[in-house]
């Protein structure tokens, strides 16, 4: 199966979008199948509340500009979400046709309409009349862009500070190209920039501009910095040549310049979330001969979406459940040669309800490998949060659940900086909604009588 | 297997499915292919003085992706010489002696013209004649087709002329482009028609191109009205057939035409008084092979109902078709939503709330599950909710028992009038 899907001679082909877009005929046929429900459950299931029946009806009537506007007005990263949303758990899962025939392909229709807008170079929105207020947004990922877009439409002068070379955050760097090509994310960034939003890339707050400068220079600050790198495993051999951070590993495949150093190699990915799946499928698509995912728990505790798990299996990724790394082994010249693992068994449930893995004594074994990709979560931007003096819980910024206001009333937070510890969801679409919520909360502060 | 044979005013065919006079019956090659596929009869594309046709002739309406919901043409009668058509009719009849071949005819409204063509086509052995008083475009501008068919006196007179010489049964094909089709149907009967057929096509303009602002179709940037047919016209045709069937002065067999796409439509037309049916658009959309399902479906339907012959169903629903004034005002139905089947699309709710009688409510139960409820006391039994419901069986219209005896508008008015006229007595 893997051999049929993957080319070893043309790696670029492996990173082309896997899902083809709908043809015009497919889109119109599917759009006509939509019942156009009243008070539709798909709208309620969408974290950004896109008026899905309306945008689908507009596809059917040939009003594609209106369709794209309906989508993008509710979700400033709606073109990306069309591709990356777990639709079967959201809109498509709520479609009433699940109870009658089969659900509408909402994600694919959303992609069809937004692809039309991209292809036809449409500008969908205009900036609002200036109100003289200045907002700084830290992070140009889905949450930051979403807040920027809505604030700009409301008349605020927005400056976004982005540490990376390009804006877009996760959508630009973190989601594998064969799911989400960079050009989609760039179009969404461009839509925001067209509203007179300034995006200062290669600008890390705390390094290139101080927290104090932001606090003094702007009326409000939105912290949407996302998360950091993959943490240390805390085992020996992590410094060896051939050990990768999954986030960086995926990022390196996103600009289209693909390395052929993995062709024919054996790769181990540690972790079983969606990022681990990305690391594994990217490895396969870079030509790796064998890719194994190690996870210390079982398939039942795995946090990756089911469709991602299925996709990885179809790519030929192997799974080693109840297996934990002990140490990474290297050669004399510092290159990874293998990984020593130990078998685990599940013990009693922990506080989060998941059963804790326990090592099986004497089950140590070595798997020979050429590369190890770590995907065991992401670190928090702790120092940045503390420099702003914000209350947090282990790096998860504390916010008012409705206004997303932090412990400092001039600072709001959204996206992954507030995800975790039982707070929020890690989806792009949730970040987009939080960005909107922050924008409206800030606007409310300025427009409520008594506030200036 | 039921007996599917029909006998329409003496024209016999092995089944009730005939091809209507139209492009599918343009040539012997086509009609023979149709008979091989199983069609019971064919009305040859209208014969007359050969005409010239335009290029770009047909157009169709798609509705929500459904192609050919309605169809339109500006093609005229045959563009082939009469002797070529006659030769092919002769050959086809020889090959298929048991199939019905009816010659559709259209000439100028002159007695000698009708006499001449009737004699010529009967000489080659047709089973009957159909007078085309319906074609609404082109020919009508020259005083033929629907121009004749819209004037009862002309219908009667021309029918009479044909009957003066015709030896085979004469069917008069009527145009729907008239206020009351029974007026022309009666005229045809008065002229001696052996049968009537309806409907011909309806005046139509299929559309306007949003970019070029040309008509659809257009001929070098200009358009003219065409004739509309296909599934969309079926209800109009069915009503006209039924109105003629229940008319006391129209007592000839009817050949039903108009949007018939399958055996079910055919059964409906026959129940409403048609002796047989004629079909065109469905064949143009799918080819002659569709007749296989028509024949089989009709057979299974009749067998399932225990009906021995298709002729037994002719007109069985006609007594059920009446005037509004004869409908029972005390008959009540209300909507019942089967929440087990309902998928909660709420189409019924919004249709009722915005455009009908505001008697459906959106509710949730203790567990938070949404459901819909009909306020039966406010429901007028309009059927709208059941019509828009996308799931079979989710909404039923059920009869509500009424203690009141049946009472029609006409009966009610009669009672009121009786009270008024006897008022003098009652107030004494």
Which residues sit opposite A290 in a β-bridge? A266
Residue B189 falls in the annotated catalytic set = no
For B218, the token pair is 């257009």
Under-50 pLDDT residues of chain A: 1-3
Yes or no, beta carbons of B390 and A35 under 8 Å apart: yes
DSSP H/E element including B226: strand B226-229
The pLDDT value recorded for residue B229 is: 97
Residue of A nearest to B393 (CA): A100
The pLDDT value recorded for residue B424 is: 61
CA atoms within 13 A on the CB side of A296: 18
B199 prior amide bond cis, ω within 30:
yes
The pLDDT value recorded for residue B425 is: 58
Shortest distance, CA A301 to any CA of chain B (angstroms): 29
Domains and CATH numbers, chain A: 20-119 (1.10.1060.10), 134-228+380-447 (3.50.50.60), 243-374 (3.50.50.60)
- Give the mean model confidence (pLDDT) for residues B347-361: 97
For A37, the token pair is 């429900």
Yes or no, beta carbons of A37 and B362 under 8 Å apart: no
Pick from B207, B211, B343 the residue to mutate for testing the A interface (most A CBs within 10 Å).
Answer: B343
The pLDDT value recorded for residue A1 is: 43
Q: A382 CB near a chain B CB, below 8 Å?
A: no
Contacts of B207 in chain A (CB under 8 A): none
- Mean pLDDT over all residues of chain B? 95
Yes or no, beta carbons of A96 and B362 under 8 Å apart: no
Residue of A nearest to B346 (CA): A38
Q: Indicate if ipTM > 0.90.
A: no
Q: A65 CB near a chain B CB, below 8 Å?
A: no
Residue B419 above 60 pLDDT?
A: yes
Shortest distance, CA B352 to any CA of chain A (angstroms): 12
- Rounded Cα distance between A288 and A265, Å, is 5
Residue of B nearest to A103 (CA): B343
Yes or no, beta carbons of B345 and A38 under 8 Å apart: yes
How far is CA A212 from each of CA A206, A215, A218, A388, rounded to the nearest angstrom?
Answer: 9, 5, 10, 9
Pick from A36, A62, A96, A98 the residue to mutate for testing the B interface (most B CBs within 10 Å).
Answer: A96
- Rounded Cα distance between A275 and A174, Å, is 8
Facing residue for B64 by CB, picked from A32, A39, A41? A32
Facing residue for A35 by CB, picked from B65, B345, B362? B345
Q: Which residues contact B214 (CB under 8 A, 6 or more apart)?
A: B208, B221, B223
Residues A388, A411: contact at Cβ < 8 Å? yes
For B410, the token pair is 């006409």
Residues B170, B193: contact at Cβ < 8 Å? yes
Contacts of B391 in chain A (CB under 8 A): 100
- Rounded Cα distance between A160 and A439, Å, is 13
Nearest to A195 by CA among A47, A54, A58, A73: A73
For B326, the token pair is 């004869």
Contacts of B349 in chain A (CB under 8 A): 38-39
The pLDDT value recorded for residue A353 is: 78
Q: Which residues contact B143 (CB under 8 A, 6 or more apart)?
A: B108, B109
List, for residues B140-193, the tens digit of each pLDDT value: 888 888 888 999 999 999 999 999 999 999 999 999 999 999 999 999 999 999
Share of residues in chain B with pLDDT > 90 (%): 93
Ordered DSSP codes for B368-409: S-EEEEE-TTT-----HHHHH--STTSEEEEEEP-SSPP-BH
Q: A18 CB near a chain B CB, below 8 Å?
A: no
Contacts of B350 in chain A (CB under 8 A): 38-39
Facing residue for A96 by CB, picked from B344, B349, B350? B344
DSSP character for B311?
A: G
Contacts of A97 in chain B (CB under 8 A): 343
- Rounded Cα distance between B363 and A308, Å, is 37
The pLDDT value recorded for residue A3 is: 47
Shortest distance, CA A42 to any CA of chain B (angstroms): 10
- Rounded Cα distance between B70 and B74, Å, is 14
- Rounded Cα distance between B100 and B81, Å, is 22
For B125, the token pair is 């052995």
Residue found by looking up tokens 């992070």 in the block: A139
Residue found by looking up tokens 């203690």 in the block: B403
List, for residues B252-293, the tens digit of each pLDDT value: 999 999 999 999 999 999 999 999 999 999 999 999 999 999
Facing residue for A100 by CB, picked from B343, B346, B347? B343
Domains and CATH numbers, chain B: 6-318 (3.20.20.70), 324-400 (3.30.70.20)
How far is CA A221 from each of CA A5, A138, A211, A214, A216, rounded to the nearest angstrom?
Answer: 46, 8, 10, 8, 10
Nearest to B235 by CA among B263, B260, B201: B260
Residue of A nearest to B350 (CA): A38
Dihedrals phi, psi of B399, to nearest 5 degrees: -75, 135
Pairing of strands B11-13, B6-8: antiparallel
CA Rg, chain B, in Å?
25
Residue B65 above 90 pLDDT?
A: no
Ordered DSSP codes for B235-266: HHHHHHHHHHHT-TT--S-EEEESS--SHHHH
DSSP H/E element including A366: strand A365-368
- Give the mean model confidence (pLDDT) for residues B195-221: 97
Facing residue for B345 by CB, picked from A32, A60, A96? A96
DSSP H/E element including A106: helix A106-119
Shortest distance, CA A33 to any CA of chain B (angstroms): 8
Which residue did the predictor score with more confidence, B197 or B425? Answer: B197
Shortest distance, CA B233 to any CA of chain A (angstroms): 22
CA Rg, chain A, in Å?
23
- Rounded Cα distance between A65 and A122, Å, is 8
Ordered DSSP codes for B147-187: HHHT-HHHHHHHHHHHHHH--S-EEEEPPS-SS-HHHHHHH
- Rounded Cα distance between B327 and B411, Å, is 10
- Give the mean model confidence (pLDDT) for residues B290-301: 98
Share of residues in chain B with pLDDT > 70 (%): 99
Shortest distance, CA B392 to any CA of chain A (angstroms): 10
């Amino acid at each position: 199966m893997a051999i049929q899907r993957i080319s070893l001679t043309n790696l670029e082909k492996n990173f082309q979008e896997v899902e083809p877009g709908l043809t015009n005929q497919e889109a119109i046929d599917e759009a006509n199948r939509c019942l156009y429900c009243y008070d539709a459950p798909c709208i309620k299931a969408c974290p950004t509340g896109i008026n899905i029946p309306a945008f689908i009806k507009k596809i059917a009537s040939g009003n594609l500009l209106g369709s794209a506007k309906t989508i993008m007005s509710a979700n400033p990263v709606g073109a990306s979400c069309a591709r990356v949303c777990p639709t079967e758990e959201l809109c498509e899962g709520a479609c009433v046709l699940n109870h009658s025939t089969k659900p509408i392909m909402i994600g694919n229709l959303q992609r069809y309409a937004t692809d039309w807008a991209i292809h036809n170079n449409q500008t969908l929105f205009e900036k609002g009349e200036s109100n003289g207020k200045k907002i700084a947004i830290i992070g140009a990922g889905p949450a930051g862009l979403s807040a920027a877009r809505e604030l700009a439409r409301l008349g605020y002068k927005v400056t976004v500070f982005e540490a990376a070379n390009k804006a877009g955050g996760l959508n630009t760097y973190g989601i594998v190209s064969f799911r989400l090509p960079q050009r989609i994310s760039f179009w969404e960034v461009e839509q925001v920039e067209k509203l007179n939003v300034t995006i200062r890339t290669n600008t890390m707050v705390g390094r290139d501009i101080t927290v104090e400068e932001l606090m003094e220079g702007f009326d409000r600050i939105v912290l949407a910095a996302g998360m950091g790198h993959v943490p240390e495993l805390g085992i020996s051999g992590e410094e060896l040549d051939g050990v990768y951070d999954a986030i960086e590993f995926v990022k390196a495949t996103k600009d289209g310049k693909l390395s052929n150093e993995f062709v024919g190699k054996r790769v181990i990915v540690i972790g079983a979330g969606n990022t681990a799946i990305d690391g594994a499928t990217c490895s396969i698509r870079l030509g790796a001969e064998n890719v194994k995912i190690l996870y210390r728990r079982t398939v039942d505790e795995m946090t990756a979406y089911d469709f991602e798990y299925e996709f990885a299996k179809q790519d030929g990724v192997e799974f080693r459940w109840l297996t934990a790394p002990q140490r990474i082994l290297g050669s004399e010249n510092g290159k990874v040669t293998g990984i020593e693992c130990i078998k685990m068994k599940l013990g009693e449930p922990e506080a989060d309800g998941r059963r804790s893995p326990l090592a099986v004594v004497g089950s140590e074994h070595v798997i020979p490998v050429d590369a190890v990709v770590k995907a065991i979560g992401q670190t928090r931007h702790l120092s940045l949060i503390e420099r702003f003096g914000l209350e947090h819980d282990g790096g998860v910024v504390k916010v008012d659940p409705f206004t997303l206001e932090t412990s400092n009333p001039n600072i709001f937070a959204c996206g992954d900086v507030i995800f975790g510890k039982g707070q929020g969801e890690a989806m792009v679409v949730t970040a987009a909604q939080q960005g909107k919520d922050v924008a409206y909360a800030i606007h409310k502060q300025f427009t409520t009588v008594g506030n200036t | 297997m039921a007996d599917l044979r029909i006998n329409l005013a003496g024209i016999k065919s092995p089944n009730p499915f005939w091809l209507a006079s139209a492009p599918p019956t343009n040539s012997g090659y086509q009609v023979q292919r149709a008979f091989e596929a199983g069609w019971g009869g064919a009305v040859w594309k209208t014969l007359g003085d050969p005409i010239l046709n335009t290029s770009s002739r047909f157009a169709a309406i798609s509705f929500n992706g459904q192609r050919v919901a309605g169809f339109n043409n500006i093609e005229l009668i045959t563009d082939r010489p009469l002797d070529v058509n006659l030769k092919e009719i002769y050959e086809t009849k020889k090959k298929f002696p048991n199939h019905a071949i009816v010659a559709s005819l259209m000439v100028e409204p002159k007695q000698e013209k009708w006499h001449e063509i009737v004699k010529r086509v009967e000489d080659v052995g047709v089973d009957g004649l159909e007078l085309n008083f319906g074609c609404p475009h082109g020919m009508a501008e020259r005083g033929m087709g629907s121009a004749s068919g819209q004037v009862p006196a002309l219908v009667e007179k021309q029918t009479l002329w044909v009957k003066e010489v015709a030896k085979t049964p004469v069917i008069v094909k009527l145009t729907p482009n008239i206020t009351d089709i029974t007026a022309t149907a009666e005229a045809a009967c008065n002229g001696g028609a052996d049968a009537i057929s309806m409907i011909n096509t309806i005046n139509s303009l299929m559309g306007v191109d949003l970019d070029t602002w040309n008509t659809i179709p257009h001929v070098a940037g200009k358009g003219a009205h065409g004739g509309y047919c296909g599934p969309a016209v079926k209800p109009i045709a069915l009503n006209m057939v039924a109105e003629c069937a229940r008319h006391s002065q129209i007592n000839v067999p009817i050949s039903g035409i108009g949007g018939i796409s399958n055996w079910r439509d055919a059964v409906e037309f026959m129940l409403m008084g048609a002796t047989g049916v004629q079909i065109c658009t469905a064949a143009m959309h799918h080819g002659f092979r569709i007749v296989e399902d028509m024949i089989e479906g009709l057979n299974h339907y009749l067998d399932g109902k225990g009906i021995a012959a298709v002729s037994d169903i002719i007109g069985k629903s006609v007594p059920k078709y009446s005037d509004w004034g004869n409908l029972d005002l005390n008959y009540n139905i209300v909507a019942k939503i089967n929440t087990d089947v309902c998928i909660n699309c709420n189409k019924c709710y919004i249709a009722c709330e915005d455009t009908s009688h505001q008697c459906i409510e959106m509710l949730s139960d203790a567990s938070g599950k949404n459901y819909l409820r009909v306020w039966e006391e406010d429901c007028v039994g309009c059927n709208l909710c059941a019509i828009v419901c996308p799931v079979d069986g989710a909404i039923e219209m059920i009869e509500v028992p009424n203690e009141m005896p049946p009472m029609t508008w006409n009966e009610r008015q009669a009672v009121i009038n009786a009270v008024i006229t006897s008022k003098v007595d009652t107030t004494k």
